[in-house]
A and B are shown apart, each in its own frame.
Chain A
Amino acid sequence: MILFLGLAVGIAAHVVYFGLHRPYDPGTLDGQLAWMKSELQLSDEQFQRIRELHEASSPRLRSLASQVAQMQSEFAAFENTRRNSDKVDFIEFAQFVEVRRNISRQCLDSTRRLVMAAAGEMTPEQRRQYFGIVSAAAPEASPLTN
């Protein structure tokens, strides 16, 4: 009887504690920011300002992401046409490259602005850690912190 009671209490304690300290959900902005708060030990004020910065830039970043995705699908269609018809419209391709380069530059600028603005709310130690996280996650992706 006592054995079962102990077992039940142990399991209940485990489940409740695990439920209260559930790992952050990587699929949502809330989960990512909560993880960042814990990782960088941000204060509530810092967290609030950084959250506002991310929420403010989120629509533009989403719009740019959809433009990039559209450019990728256009490029795939362009490449498909070139393979099938063996013809290349160099003027169209040059325009495409120019637009893509322009969007990429906007993406980089937006991201860099957001990273710098968020870093501006942090202490030097937090900033150093934040840049470490950002560059360690994508060393070859983009020179965000340069």
Chain B
Amino acid sequence: MAGVMRAARPTLPRTAMSLPPDPLDRLLERWDEPGRESPDLSPEVWRRINQDARKPRGVTAWWAEIDAWLTRPPFAALFVACCALLGLFLAEVRVNHQQREQSALLARSYLQLIDPLLKADAAAKAP
């Protein structure tokens, strides 16, 4: 492996006079071959593969994922705050919508309040 790394290392033309020694050279010389693989490695890999295969898929997995996120207090607090903000936003939209609708009605009502002729006309037209 170290040999491969050394072989793959880019070789730039340089002269001893012009460039200082590269610290990477020292590190590469200390490179050792990796030790023998652990005897537990293969069972551990298979255990994780099996564990992953047993995980729920689809909607259940999605819910499980959300549930896992919401069990963390910071995310739970963030979620509740977002819900509150959404509620406030929807209330603001609703208030604006109703105020727009009632604006013309209020203008007519106001005019009927200050003009008795209009008020009498409106009362006469009312069923």
Interface residues of A, Cβ cutoff 8 Å to B: 2-3, 5-7, 9-15, 17-18, 21-24, 26-27, 29, 31-32, 35-36, 39, 54, 57-58, 61-62, 64-65, 67-69, 72, 104, 107-108, 110-111, 114-115, 133-134, 136-138, 141-142, 144
Contacts and interface: CB of A to CB of B under 8 A. Distances in A.
Interface stretch (B18-26, B34-42, B107-115): B107-115
A15 B84 CA distance: 11
B95 interface: yes
Contacts of B116: 61-62, 64-65, 67-68, 107, 110-111
A17 B71 CA distance: 29
A111 B82 CA distance: 50
Q: Which 5 pairs show the lowest CB-CB distances between chains A and B?
A: A6-B83, A10-B87, A65-B116, A10-B83, A13-B87
Contact of B118 (A39, A58, A141): A141
Which range holds the interface residue count of chain B? Answer: 35 or more
Contact of B110 (A17, A64, A68, A137): A137
Interface string B90-120: 1110110011001111111111011111111
Give the dominant DSSP class at B's interface.
Answer: helix
B68 to A, nearest CB: 12
B118 A115 contact: no
Contact of B87 (A11, A27, A133, A137): A11
Nearest to B71: A2
A18 B113 contact: no
A68 B109 CA distance: 17
A78 B99 CA distance: 43
